[in-house]
Amino acid sequence: MIFSTFQTEMMSEKIQDKIAKWLNGSFDQSAKDEIKKLQVENPGFLQDAFYKNLEFGTGGLRGLMGVGTNRINKYTVGMCTQGFANYLIKSFGNNPISVVVGHDSRNNSRFFAETTAQVFAANGIKVFLFEQLRPTPEISFAIRYLNCQAGVVCTASHNPKEYSGYKAYWNDGGQLVPPHDTNVIKEVEKINSIDEVQWNGLEKNITLIGRDIDEAYLEMIKGLSIFPEIIKKQHDLKIVYTPIHGTGITLIPEVLKQFGFTNISVVQEQAVPDGNFPTVVYPNPEESEAMALGLKKAEEADADILLGTDPDSDRVGIGVKDNFGKWILLNGNQTAVLAFNYMMESRKEKAIAKANDMVISTIVTTEMINEIARVNQVKCYTVLTGFKWIAELVKEKEGIENYVIGGEESFGLMIGDRVRDKDAISAVAILCEMAAVEKEKVRSLFQKLISLYTQYGFYKEHLISFTKKGMDGQQQIEAMMAGYRENPPAMIAESRVVKILDYKLQIGKDLQTKDQWKIELPKSNVLQFVLEDGSKISIRPSGTEPKIKFYFSVRADLNYESDFEIVNAELKKRINSIVESLKL
């Protein structure tokens, strides 16, 4: 057997041992045939498929589909579910245990969901299995609505078509956090053979669910509306929506109608759920290419707002017309600023704001949110990247503080506490309501954003990602992080680095005063450099993709709305200077 030369002999032996177990074990013949084919045709790919076991990241289990321990397939899904089942039984003892299982539009998602349901059922756990594809946030909602102990949704969110995944949830409807995530992994690692997985039996434990949960979920979202009377007047707001071949088509047109909107156009080329995502390379509303058909339709229809959701409908992207009438896509930070401000501002205007209201942002999201909250006298918490941390804090503050909205720059919002993950279904509804409110004031969402910049400061953010696939890619990412950690830059773009925040070491340093403090957040492999001019650079490996991400944030005053283009150009130049200085 031939492997790449950079692989050590020790690792090669481990990989060969794993491969031998698959070839000699109780795996189906098609899996064995695929391994034999790869041994001859693509040994490097085979090595990557077996060099490690998939682990939970910030978004759960996610990877390429195919044979191997480092791939999503029947066996890795089954072993993961068996480990999860063992942990649930240990955690809840003799008490009845029930779980919700759902899936998105990806290839094999239904098969993986049924496999998951069968393994849970065979372990004596009651399973509520969605009869067809559904948005991820609805699975989170259903866990709490049905009083379940856990849940699983088979999805790879916004990743390309070759990927699949497995998001695991706890009884609060949030994704697994410590100690549950590591404890589940430990239980999975105890399973040395697929023969230890209970694959079949007790199918009577599986109950199909669908429309009844839809209705409860939609009714919950409808209750989030703050100005239904304005929607009634602006019911013909021109809305263009694309589900990008995903699950959003199942509920978003309906929720918009229930809110009272009557002029909804769906991008038909992307309306049918399809795991091959035939019209896009990346089914991600962060990508302009994925929103291109939507932008074309929005322009043709002279729409007021464009919205797009990813395959499992937890991310939302929006398009608006700028001051020149040109259609543009807002980034995740801009969308979050508009949504956070709307929830705080409109609640005050409607006299439903509470003294203990709180909102939650993340460490790589625009600090403009913190400023808006400060001025509005609303408590703003900052957590690590990932909605599991937002959900965890909501649970911690339950009954003490009133959670209103949470979100992060990665096109995710969580409005209200009935769903404990990012929810593009409710976000689309509220963003459209927000557009209706602004239209009632004879103003566009873009104009509203600029007015917020004049009020709170013009914050501009930028993101650069580098994809590093495979085992070698992971090593490159680790080396890059180690380099920045061990030899941090003293100057970036002619501005001194005055603070370094290391979330892995949980240490913050002020390089001017020499003060040092403990960062009171769980450990995370993130570095932040704060510059003398107020700019901030954040560096972190992605928890769900083979990427390392660089986040840039700069700020300036915008005294007059008419100066927007000038200040925007200045901030863009500053970001470019930082990027060049880091030689990215």
Q: What is the pLDDT of residues 203-230, one digit of tens each?
A: 999 999 999 999 999 999 999 999 999 9
Give the span between the Cα atoms of 187 and 465, in whole angstroms.
Answer: 33
Domains of the chain, by residue range, sit at 52-209, 217-456, 459-581
Strand partners, 466: 548
- Residue 499 pLDDT > 90, yes or no? yes
Name the DSSP class of 72. B
The first and second tokens of residue 29, run together, are 């013949």
Q: How far, rounded to the nearest angstrom, does the alpha carbon of residue 528 sit from its chain's CA centroid?
A: 21
Q: Is 386 helix (H, G, I), strand (E, B) or coil?
A: coil
- Bigger pLDDT: 289 vs 547: 289
- Among 56-70, 258-272, 274-288, the range scoring the smallest mean pLDDT is 56-70
Give the span between the Cα atoms of 551 and 26, in whole angstroms.
Answer: 46
Query: What percent of the chain is modeled with pLDDT above 90?
Result: 88
- Bigger pLDDT: 373 vs 547: 373
- Residue 59 pLDDT > 80, yes or no? no
Burial of 318 per CB tally in 10 Å (0-12, 13-18, 19+)? buried
94 pLDDT tier (thresholds 50, 70, 90): confident
Residues in the chain: 584
Catalytically annotated residue among 157, 361, 444, 524 = 157
Report the range out of 55-64, 296-305, 543-552 with the highest average pLDDT: 296-305
- Residue 141 pLDDT > 60, yes or no? yes
3 pLDDT tier (thresholds 50, 70, 90): very low
Give the span between the Cα atoms of 30 and 67, in whole angstroms.
Answer: 9
Average pLDDT estimate for 159-184? 93
SS (H, E, C) 426-439: HHHHHHHHHHHHHH
Give the span between the Cα atoms of 82 and 116, in whole angstroms.
Answer: 9
Average pLDDT estimate for 81-96? 94
438-475 pLDDT, tens digit each: 999 999 999 999 999 999 999 999 999 998 877 788 88
Query: What are the counts of helices (DSSP H) followed by strands (DSSP E) for the chain?
Result: 18, 23
∠52-191-107 over CA atoms, to 5°?
A: 60
Q: Is 105 a catalytic residue?
A: no
Instruction: State the fold for domain 459-581.
Output: TATA-Binding Protein (3.30.310)
Give the span between the Cα atoms of 294 and 33, in whole angstroms.
Answer: 42
pLDDT value of position 459: 98
546 pLDDT tier (thresholds 50, 70, 90): confident
H or E segment at 188? Answer: helix 180-189
Average pLDDT estimate for 41-51? 91
CATH topology agreement for domains 52-209 and 459-581: no
554-563 pLDDT, tens digit each: 999 999 999 9
- Residue 11 pLDDT > 50, yes or no? no
Strand 316-321 versus strand 305-309 pairing type: antiparallel
Average pLDDT estimate for 508-530? 96
Q: Is 501 left (phi over 0), alpha (psi -120 to 50) or beta?
A: beta
Q: Are the C-beta atoms of residues 55 and 61 closer than 8 Å to each other? A: yes
Strand partners, 362: 383
Average pLDDT estimate for 316-339? 97
Q: Which residues contact 192 (CB under 8 A, 6 or more apart)?
A: none
Strand partners, 550: 464, 539
- Residue 87 pLDDT > 80, yes or no? yes
pLDDT value of position 473: 84
7 pLDDT tier (thresholds 50, 70, 90): very low
Q: How far, rounded to the nearest angstrom, does the alpha carbon of residue 44 sit from its chain's CA centroid?
A: 30
Q: What are residue 352's phi and psi, to 5 degrees? A: -115, 5
Q: Which residues contact 364 (CB under 8 A, 6 or more apart)?
A: 385, 408, 409, 526, 538, 540, 549, 551
Amino acid at 289: E
pLDDT value of position 188: 85
Give the span between the Cα atoms of 500 and 513, in whole angstroms.
Answer: 12
Q: Are the C-beta atoms of residues 84 and 187 closer than 8 Å to each other? A: yes
Number of C-alpha atoms within 13 angstroms, CB side, residue 286?
19
The first and second tokens of residue 121, run together, are 């059922």
Q: What are residue 245's phi and psi, to 5 degrees? A: 65, 20
Average pLDDT estimate for 154-181? 93
- Among 12-16, 236-240, 375-379, the range scoring the smallest mean pLDDT is 12-16
Burial of 140 per CB tally in 10 Å (0-12, 13-18, 19+)? buried
Give the span between the Cα atoms of 458 and 132, in whole angstroms.
Answer: 44
Class of domain 52-209: alpha beta
Long-range CB contacts for residues 256-260, cutoff 8 Å, separation at least 24: 256/428, 256/429, 256/432, 258/218, 258/221, 258/222, 259/222, 259/225, 259/228, 259/231, 259/429, 259/432, 259/433, 260/228, 260/231, 260/232, 260/235
176 pLDDT tier (thresholds 50, 70, 90): very high
Q: Which CATH architecture describes the domain 217-456? A: 3-Layer(aba) Sandwich (3.40)
Average pLDDT of the chain, as a whole number: 94
pLDDT value of position 56: 64
Average pLDDT estimate for 257-277? 98
Number of C-alpha atoms within 13 angstroms, CB side, residue 134?
28
